[in-house]
Amino acid sequence: MDILSLFPEAIEPYLSSSVLARAKRTGTVDICVTNFRDFSEDRHKTVDDYPFGGGAGMLLKAPPLFAAVDHVRALRNLEYAPRVIMMTPQGRTFNQAVARELKKERHLIFLCGHYEGFDDRVRQHLATDELSIGDFVLTGGELAALVVVDAVVRLMPGVLGNEESPKQDSHENGMLEYPQYTRPRKFREWEVPEVLLSGHHENIEAWRRREALANTCRNRPDLFMKLPLDERERSEIVRYVNGYLEN
Specify the DSSP class assigned to residue 38.
G
Q: In angstroms, rounded to a whole number, what is the distance separating the alpha carbons of residues 4 and 145? A: 10
Supply the residues annotated as catalytic: 89, 116, 154, 169
